[in-house]
């Protein structure tokens, strides 16, 4: 489903984010991406979504080489990816239901259909009763679960979550991880990054990054 072959990323001659990284993630796998701040976690996840392109090597997602993908094909690639990235904030001027409906309306769903599916997505993350709340009325962990609902409402095959538990207390972080694991348990491939080793699930596969290099290859 996802394969990195000897991938390097240099933002500039003196900013190397990834060095010769190779690994594969199979369909339906749950993988944690661990490593301290600056290790290259965000860069790696951005490459899967074709936000960044490799300087060398190949990134294959669903059989497509990200380095060669045409700009016109990028929206189709992303339609299969549920992205929970730090820079994608919720819109604070509308309800969480409206936030979760948005990706469906953008891809042409009717309002009725969008609302039905957005409600189902909010139900899956345990927030259906809060559907009409504004994002800022929710806790950080609840807001992050809304982000998960928004990311999965288009039924992606893969979820990429970049530090989804950052800035959350332990209990909220666990609720966020449980929400992600629930999608893994129904067959969605999940890649979750964290700089906090305590967040890592002992049962799951972990890819460790350090200064842009893979520490252990699983």
Ligand X SMILES: Nc1ncnc2c1ncn2[C@@H]1O[C@H](COP(=O)(O)OP(=O)(O)O)[C@@H](O)[C@H]1O
CA-based radius of gyration for the chain: 17
Residue 54 contacts ligand X per CB under 6 A: no
Residues 6+ apart with CB under 8 A from 146: 90, 96, 99, 100, 122, 125, 127, 135, 138
How far apart are CB 164 and ligand X at their closest, in Å?
Answer: 13
- Identify the residue whose tokens are 């992303």: 78
Closest to ligand X by CB, 40 vs 82, is 40
CA–CA gap between residue 42 and residue 193 (Å, rounded):
8
Residue 118 near residue 155, CB atoms below 8 Å: no
- Give the residues across from 175 on adjacent strands: none
Half-sphere exposure of 17 (CA within 13 A, CB side): 19
Out of 13, 37, 129, 198, the residue judged to bind ligand X by CB under 6 A: 37
Residue 34 near residue 191, CB atoms below 8 Å: no
Tell me the window of 34-42, 90-98, 100-108, 143-151 that interacts with ligand X (CB under 6 A): 34-42
Residue 208 contacts ligand X per CB under 6 A: no
Out of 4, 21, 32, 35, the residue judged to bind ligand X by CB under 6 A: 35
Residue 17 contacts ligand X per CB under 6 A: yes
Residue 140 binding target from Mg ion, ligand X, none, CB below 5 to 8 Å by type: none
Q: Which of residues 153-182 bind ligand X (CB under 6 A)?
A: none
Residue 130 binding target from ligand X, Mg ion, none, CB below 5 to 8 Å by type: none
> Which residues of the shown chain bind Mg ion in the complex (CB under 5 A)?
41-42
Residue 76 contacts ligand X per CB under 6 A: no
């Amino acid at each position: 489903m996802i394969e990195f072959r000897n991938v390097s990323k240099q933002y500039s001659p003196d900013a190397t984010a990834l060095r010769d990284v190779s690994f594969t993630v199979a369909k339906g796998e749950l993988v944690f991406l661990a490593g301290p701040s600056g290790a290259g976690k965000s860069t790696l996840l951005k490459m899967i979504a074709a936000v960044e392109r490799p300087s060398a090597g190949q990134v294959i997602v669903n059989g497509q080489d990200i380095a060669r993908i045409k700009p016109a094909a990028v929206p189709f690639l992303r339609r299969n990816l549920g992205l929970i990235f730090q820079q994608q904030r919720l819109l604070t001027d509308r309800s969480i239901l409206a936030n979760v409906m948005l990706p469906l309306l953008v891809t042409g769903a009717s309002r009725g259909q969008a609302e039905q599916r957005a409600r189902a997505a909010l139900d899956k993350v345990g927030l259906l009763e809060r559907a009409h709340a504004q994002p800022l009325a929710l806790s950080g962990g609840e807001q992050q679960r809304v982000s998960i609902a928004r990311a999965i409402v288009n039924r992606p095959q893969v979820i990429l979550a970049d530090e989804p538990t950052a800035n959350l207390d332990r209990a909220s972080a666990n609720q966020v991880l449980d929400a992600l694991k629930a999608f893994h348990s129904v067959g969605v491939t999940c890649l979750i990054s964290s700089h906090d080793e305590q967040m890592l699930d002992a049962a799951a596969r972990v890819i460790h990054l350090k200064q842009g290099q893979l520490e252990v290859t699983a």
